[in-house]
């Protein structure tokens, strides 16, 4: 059951981990003033945000392990709505992609990340992981899938922890590379940032489309039981 629960949450965890904006943000924070401190705080905030959303969803939909329960039916309807919304967002990302050699620019709110205070770095980590609508949907879907795998107690906690760690692997990995690699690491991370900025729309579109279709399909399958 535990392996099944982890497997059910794996796609959403990878989608959270590969989100371009947090990776761009953490690289800018690491390259700025107090990069070591702020990078660690951002990573801690990121983990807290994912864990908080997963915990709330686990409490609210704790009865979803029974296919005939009201919690299960509500979860399936929410999956249908969330999957459809992700597909629409994927289409919007594709429509708004840069065309004809247009230059892709970093969002304005990222320009001051290098000078972020400790509190702001921690808060941004929490908000970008827990309050980001896309991540909220993915975390809620993954947690519900874990519950529906009929795991309880320690197994539930382990499966949720694995999801949070996998969803945090790129942010935590960027901090680890920065702390261990010096100038070579800084050059590598800046290259990653440039790639993410340039290909942000395409990466996000692909992730949203695949996960949206998967979540929508799971919801329709659940409603058809």
Per-residue pLDDT of the chain (225 residues; tens, 9 = 90+): 788 888 888 888 888 888 877 888 888 888 877 888 889 999 999 999 999 999 998 888 877 666 667 777 777 788 888 888 888 888 887 787 766 666 666 556 566 677 788 898 899 899 888 888 888 888 888 888 888 888 888 888 999 999 999 999 999 998 888 888 766 777 777 787 777 777 777 777 887 888 788 778 877 877 766
Q: Is residue 193 within 8 Å of residue 24, measured between CB atoms?
A: yes
**Dihedral pair phi/psi, residue 57, rounded to 5°:** -65, -40
Count of CA atoms in the C-beta half-sphere (13 A) of 23: 26
| Cα–Cα dist 171/42, whole Å | 8
Helices (H), 99-199: 118-126, 133-148, 153-167, 169-198
**pLDDT given at position 44:** 95
Question: What pLDDT shows up at residue 56?
Answer: 92
The residue count of the chain comes to 225
Please state the pTM of the whole predicted model.
Answer: 0.81
Contact 145, 7 (CB under 8 A): no
């Amino acid at each position: 059951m535990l392996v099944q629960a982890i497997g059910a949450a794996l796609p959403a965890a990878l989608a959270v981990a590969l989100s371009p904006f947090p990776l761009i943000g953490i690289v800018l924070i690491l390259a700025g003033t107090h990069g070591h401190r702020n990078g660690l705080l951002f990573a801690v905030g990121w983990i807290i945000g994912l864990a908080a959303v997963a915990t709330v969803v686990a409490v609210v939909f704790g009865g979803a392990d029974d296919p005939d329960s009201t919690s299960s039916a509500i979860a399936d309807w929410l999956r249908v709505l969330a999957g459809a919304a992700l597909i629409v967002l994927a289409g919007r990302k594709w429509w708004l992609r840069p065309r004809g050699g247009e230059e892709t620019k970093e969002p304005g709110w990222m320009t001051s990340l290098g000078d972020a205070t400790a509190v702001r770095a921690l808060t941004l980590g929490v908000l970008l992981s827990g309050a980001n609508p896309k991540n909220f949907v993915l975390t809620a879907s993954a947690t519900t899938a874990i519950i529906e795998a009929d795991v309880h107690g320690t197994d539930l906690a382990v499966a949720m922890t694995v999801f949070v760690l996998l969803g945090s692997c790129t942010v935590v990995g960027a901090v680890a590379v920065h702390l261990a690699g010096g100038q070579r690491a800084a050059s590598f991370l800046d290259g990653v940032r440039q790639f993410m900025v340039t290909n942000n729309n395409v990466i996000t579109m692909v992730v949203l489309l695949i996960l949206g279709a998967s979540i929508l399909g799971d919801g329709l399958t659940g409603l058809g039981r």
